[in-house]
Amino acid sequence: MKEFVTAATTVAEVLLKRPLRARILVNHRVHCVGCPMAPLESVSEACEIYGVSLPDLLAELNPRTWHIAKPRYCDIG
């Protein structure tokens, strides 16, 4: 099961579970990558501190293509 990043997810959890998401944080000028406060700071708190839109950041941190692929059936006959 895929876990979504939420407002309550800590920055450290994002970086631990999805290391490539560090680029998204840096692009939003959220410089928590490598910060000693990252384990204690939620994504919501980081957005408030850095003046970043929480909905916009969450939209980028959570892939929009998470879905269950429907099986394709073919008729053999």
pLDDT tens-place string over residues 40-51: 999 999 999 999
Tens digits of residue pLDDT in 7-41 = 999 999 999 998 999 999 999 999 888 889 899 99
What is each CA distance from 22 to 17, 30, 75, in whole angstroms? 11, 9, 46
7 phi/psi in degrees, rounded to 5: -60, -30
> What pLDDT is attached to residue 69?
46
Q: What is the pLDDT of residue 32?
A: 87
54-72 tens-digit pLDDT: 999 999 999 775 444 444 5
Q: What is the pLDDT of residue 48?
A: 96
- The predicted pLDDT at position 12 comes to 95
Q: What does the alpha-carbon distance between residue 47 and residue 21 come to, in Å, rounded to a whole number? A: 15
Q: Tell me how far apart the alpha carbons of residues 77 and 69 are, in angstroms, rounded to a whole number.
A: 25
